[in-house]
Amino acid sequence: MSRLRSVALVAALLCAVGAADARPGGGSSLGSRGSHTWSAPPRTNITPGWSRPMDRSMTPSPNPNTFNTPNQGFNAARPAVPPYNTMGARPSFGARHPFMTGFAGGFLGAGLFGMLSGHGFFGGFTGGTSLFGFLLQALILGGLIIFLLRLFGNRSKANNGATPNSGAFNAPQSNAPYTPTNEDYTAFQQLLLDIQSAWSAQNMRALSNRSTPEMAGYFNEQLSELASRGARNIVSNVQFQRGDLSEAWRENGLTYATVAMRYSLTDVTTDNFGNVIDGSSTDMQTVTELWTFVRADGRGNWILSAIQQAG
What distance in Å separates the CA atoms of residue 18 and residue 24, rounded to the nearest whole number? 13
- Is there a contact between 212 and 304 (Cβ–Cβ < 8 Å)? yes
Q: Which residue, 189, 219, 285, is CA-closest to 24?
A: 219
Residue ranges, comma separated, of all CATH 3.10.450.240 domains in the chain are 10-62+174-309
Which CATH class, in words, describes the domain spanning 10-62+174-309?
Answer: alpha beta
Of the listed ranges 15-29, 61-75, 258-272, 289-303, the least confidently predicted one is 61-75
Mean pLDDT lowest for which of 63-67, 121-125, 196-200?
121-125
Kindly tell me if the per-residue pLDDT of 260 is higher than 80.
Answer: yes
Which pLDDT score is estimated for 132?
56
Per-residue pLDDT at 147:
67
pLDDT at residue number 45: 95
Q: How confident is the model at residue 311 (pLDDT cuts 50, 70, 90)?
A: confident
Contact 288, 259 (CB under 8 A): no
Band (153; pLDDT cuts 50, 70, 90): low
123: pLDDT strictly greater than 80: no
pLDDT, position 223: 96
Average pLDDT in the 66-81 region? 34
This prediction has a pTM of: 0.62
235 bridge partner residues: 267
Per residue, the 3-state secondary structure of 225-275, as one string, reads: HHHHCCEEEEEEEEEEEEEEEEEEEEECCEEEEEEEEEEEEEEEEEECCCC
30/53 Cα distance (integer angstroms): 9
Is pLDDT of 86 > 70? no
Q: Which residue has the higher pLDDT, 109 or 227?
A: 227
| Res 227: pLDDT | 94
Quickly state the pLDDT bin for 197 (edges 50, 70, 90): very high
pLDDT of residue 157 exceeding 60:
no
> What's the pLDDT at 14?
39
Mean residue pLDDT of the chain comes to 74
- Across 5-19, 65-79, 124-138, 215-229, the highest mean pLDDT is recorded for 215-229
Are the beta carbons of 267 and 19 closer than 8 angstroms? Answer: yes
3-state class (DSSP) for residue 121: coil
The stretch 240-260 carries a mean pLDDT of 97
